[in-house]
Amino acid sequence: MILRFFMMIALGIFTAGAFCGCAEFKEFMEELEEDSYSENPNSDNYKPRYVVTICTIVKYPRAGDLEQEVQGLNGKSVWINTNQNFSSKNIKEAKVLPRPGDPNVCDLQFKLDRLGKLQWQILAGTHIEQQVAFIVDGIFYTGFIAEPLPNDQERWVTLRVGINPYTAKGIVKFAKKNYTFYNPNTSSWF
């Protein structure tokens, strides 16, 4: 029964290739491959999604390879320094903070690992009253001011980014998985 199922899938793929032509078949196979990504961050087929990157906004680009133009959701672009200040690699967990009075706007809270806490303190200290870029999956969402941690023991940081609830929930859903993917268990290496 299982063999018959796989034979039917193979026949369907072959038939799609025969009727669609090469370009359409290739596009179909790429879509099929995207659907086959694993939800397990320890799998070889895992693809990180809702990856958060925080970079310095560059007002006057002039450093060539170190600076890049990033497109925003509103169609406008912003120049950033590609040396990221902070990323999903250091976000152990995330929470959505709906803004009071407006359910369509959300802020975020991130639980940071030890290195992330240090990076956040450096980010907040070097960019006092300066906006930094909040980027998700390579798309510029907004600029925000990084607030310092309230005390040395705190590991949760609040980002007042004002993004849509769908993106905020996606970031929360994939935060732990992305952290596991970017920080693999080293005992499996040997």
Residue range(s) of every CATH 3.30.1360.200 domain in the chain:
52-185
Q: Is the model's pLDDT at 4 over the cut of 70?
A: no
User: pLDDT value at position 65?
Assistant: 78
pLDDT tens readout for residues 29-87: 555 455 566 777 777 778 899 999 999 999 887 767 788 899 998 888 899 988 888 99
Contact 111, 94 (CB under 8 A): yes
Give the least confident one: 17-31, 94-108, 144-158, 167-181. Answer: 17-31
Task: Please choose, from the candidates 135, 85, 128, 116, the residue with its C-alpha nearest in 3D space to the C-alpha of residue 182.
Answer: 116
Length of the chain measured in residues: 190
**What value, to the nearest 5°, has the Cα angle with vertex 5 and ends 3 and 10?**
95
What CA–CA distances, in Å, run from 51 to 19, 32, 111, 137? 37, 22, 15, 5
Q: How far apart are CA 159 and CA 124, in angstroms?
A: 11
User: Which one is the CATH code of 52-185: 3.30.1360.200, 3.40.50.970, 3.40.1190.20, 3.30.70.3000?
Assistant: 3.30.1360.200
* pTM score, whole prediction: 0.75
